[in-house]
């Protein structure tokens, strides 16, 4: 059954003990310090001119130089400098309604207030009378075989989410799946010669019991182990995620994004764990899947908070002792656990981004060869000798990836704090 399904690593991460180790980061600090110095020159200029365009340039620089923790601040300044600037507002994921720029949530909240006052209820991208909605829900229940609370079409209509979770959770899930789908499409369009994604069905459950029940039904397999928060099966072509993980916060969104990459790989590129090496599948799923969410913006390199802490600890401690060739060879045959996800993610990150994207072209060429050419021999012929690559890979992890991952932890915490503050202010309003 190996290769028929993919287990998300998010929950494995919580099992790993997060230990912070003081690392000798002089090289990392030096290069990072010089990038920050250049960034500060840009922000001083932008601040002095109070110019949105210059703040956008600084934001762009922050992204490209992996100074992600400064990105949000730049956008904040940009929008203060010019609240009517369409480019800035679009980057903040806002839409023009009349003369106001609003987020999807704000637009929805306004609409919901109006409709609820008229006695209407929401279901399946549709406002109807309770009787109308009951009828629709009954039809869905029959179709999917369980009690549907919320059915949602994602904003562009690509993903349909059947869910027994809350409306808010379901809306976020739909949005992240679609954002991930598009990130994949943009990133790999030329590599895999992609067409636009076909529609995808996603199931979201608030309880493990329904998740197990529906998974067994669609996969004809027994229930998945307790730690598994999400799965996409290339046999049954459906993505299932549950939030019954004991982890608070929005880690289900990272799980969604990760599984979404497996769905896209299978449905668009024709690659899956059964015909391609594990490191290639899981490393890439983490890499693009974690192109992440800052107000639903997509930022490369971000890792979900829980997984990030454990992954940083693991890579800090273990990267030097990894035998890359051995790891890659083994991962062609065997499944791997949390450590394998960390090493693969870091390796894919290296191949796409290290040294001014030095390896990116060759790696894409290797990828475009397809499953029959995903061998070590082909890799070394096209991308380079592992023995040469290994020290550069370790240096990249130490000097660039780890500092970036630590920086995004702060960002993830900010996102979480903002969400928490919003929740608390809602509670006090009641």
C-alpha span between 114 and 121 (Å, rounded): 11
Shortest CB 175 distance to Zn ion, Å: 21
Helix (H) or strand (E) holding 418: helix 402-429
Q: Which stretch binds Zn ion (CB under 5 A): 181-189, 277-285, 343-351, 372-380?
A: 277-285
Q: Rule CB under 5 A: choose which of 5, 6, 231, 239 binds Zn ion.
A: 6
CB contact at 8 A, 155 and 178: yes
C-alpha span between 96 and 358 (Å, rounded): 40
C-alpha span between 410 and 345 (Å, rounded): 20
| Closest to Zn ion by CB, 6 or 389 | 6
| Closest to Zn ion by CB, 140 or 306 | 306
Shortest CB 224 distance to Zn ion, Å: 13
CB contact at 8 A, 425 and 55: no
Shortest CB 8 distance to Zn ion, Å: 6
The candidate with the shortest Cα–Cα distance to 317, out of 401, 405, 412, 398, is: 398
Shortest CB 2 distance to Zn ion, Å: 12
| Share in percent of the chain as helix, strand, coil (round to 5) | 65, 10, 25
Shortest CB 339 distance to Zn ion, Å: 14
**Is the CA virtual torsion 167, 172, 173, 178 positive or negative?**
positive
Shortest CB 353 distance to Zn ion, Å: 20
Helix (H) or strand (E) holding 157: none
Q: Which stretch binds Zn ion (CB under 5 A): 3-11, 58-66, 116-124, 287-295?
A: 3-11
Q: Which stretch binds Zn ion (CB under 5 A): 98-106, 142-150, 278-286, 327-335?
A: 278-286
Q: Which stretch binds Zn ion (CB under 5 A): 5-13, 36-44, 108-116, 386-394?
A: 5-13
| Closest to Zn ion by CB, 71 or 252 | 252
Shortest CB 160 distance to Zn ion, Å: 22
The owner of tokens 């919901």 is 112
85-144 residues in contact with Zn ion (CB under 5 A) are: none
| Closest to Zn ion by CB, 285 or 346 | 285
Shortest CB 259 distance to Zn ion, Å: 7
Q: Which stretch binds Zn ion (CB under 5 A): 1-9, 25-33, 302-310, 354-362?
A: 1-9
| Closest to Zn ion by CB, 162 or 232 | 232
Give the DSSP per-residue string, 333-372: HS---HHHHHHHHHHHHHHHHHHHHTTHHHHHHHHHT-GG
Neighbours of 421 (CB within 10 A): 10
Q: Which stretch binds Zn ion (CB under 5 A): 69-77, 79-87, 275-283, 330-338?
A: 275-283
| Closest to Zn ion by CB, 285 or 415 | 285
**Is the CA virtual torsion 308, 314, 320, 323 positive or negative?**
negative
Shortest CB 286 distance to Zn ion, Å: 8
Alpha helices in 193-322 (DSSP H): 208-219, 251-264, 278-289, 305-318
Helix (H) or strand (E) holding 183: helix 167-192
| Closest to Zn ion by CB, 285 or 343 | 285
The pair phi, psi for residue 38, each rounded to 5°, is -65, -35
List of E strands, 85-199: 94-97, 100-103, 121-122, 127-128, 150-153, 159-163
Q: Which stretch binds Zn ion (CB under 5 A): 167-175, 274-282, 291-299, 310-318?
A: 274-282
| Closest to Zn ion by CB, 306 or 399 | 306
> Total number of residues binding Zn ion (CB under 5 A)?
3
10 forms part of the interface with Zn ion (CB under 5 A): no
Shortest CB 230 distance to Zn ion, Å: 8
Q: Rule CB under 5 A: choose which of 74, 79, 92, 285 binds Zn ion.
A: 285
Applying CB under 5 A, the residues found at the interface with Zn ion are: 6, 282, 285
């Amino acid at each position: 059954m190996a290769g028929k399904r993919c287990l998300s690593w998010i929950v494995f991460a919580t099992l790993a003990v997060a230990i912070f180790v003081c690392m000798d980061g002089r090289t990392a600090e030096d290069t990072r310090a010089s990038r920050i110095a250049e960034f500060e020159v840009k922000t001083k200029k932008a601040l002095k001119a109070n110019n949105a365009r210059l703040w956008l340039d600084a934001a762009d620089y922050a992204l490209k130089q992996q100074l992600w923790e400064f990105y949000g601040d730049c956008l904040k300044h940009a929008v203060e400098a010019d609240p009517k600037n369409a480019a800035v507002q679009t980057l903040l994921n806002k839409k023009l309604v009349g003369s106001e720029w609003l987020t999807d949530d704000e637009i929805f909240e306004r609409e919901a207030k109006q409709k609820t006052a008229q006695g209407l209820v929401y279901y399946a991208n549709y406002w109807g009378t309770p009787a109308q909605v009951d009828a629709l829900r009954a039809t869905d229940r029959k179709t999917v075989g369980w009690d549907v609370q919320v059915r949602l079409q994602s904003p562009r209509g690509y993903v349909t989410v059947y869910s027994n979770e809350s409306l808010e959770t379901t809306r976020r899930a739909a949005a992240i799946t679609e954002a991930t789908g598009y990130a994949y499409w943009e990133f790999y369009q030329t590599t895999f010669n992609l067409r636009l994604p076909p529609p995808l069905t996603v199931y979201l459950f608030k309880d493990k019991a329904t998740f197990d029940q529906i998974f067994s039904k669609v996969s004809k397999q027994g229930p998945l182990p307790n730690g598994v928060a999400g799965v996409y099966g290339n046999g049954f072509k459906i993505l299932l995620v549950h939030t019954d993980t004991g982890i608070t916060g929005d880690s289900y969104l990272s799980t969604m994004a990760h599984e979404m990459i497996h769905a896209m790989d299978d449905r668009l590129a024709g690659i899956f764990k059964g015909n391609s090496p594990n490191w290639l599948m899981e490393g890439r799923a983490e890499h693009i899947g974690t192109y992440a969410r800052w107000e639903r913006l997509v930022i490369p390199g971000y890792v979900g908070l829980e997984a990030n802490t454990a992954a940083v600890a693991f890579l800090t401690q273990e990267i030097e002792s990894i035998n890359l060739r051995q790891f890659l060879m083994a991962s062609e045959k065997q499944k791997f656990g949390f450590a394998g996800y960390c090493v693969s993610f870091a390796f894919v990150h290296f191949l796409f981004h290290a040294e001014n994207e030095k390896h990116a072209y060759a790696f894409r060429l290797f990828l475009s060869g397809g499953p029959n050419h995903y061998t070590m021999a082909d890799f070394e012929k096209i991308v380079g000798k592992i023995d040469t690559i290994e020290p550069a890979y370790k240096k990249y992890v130490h000097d660039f990836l780890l500092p970036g991952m630590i920086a995004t932890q702060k960002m993830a915490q900010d996102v979480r704090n903002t969400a928490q503050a919003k929740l608390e202010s809602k509670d006090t309003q009641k």
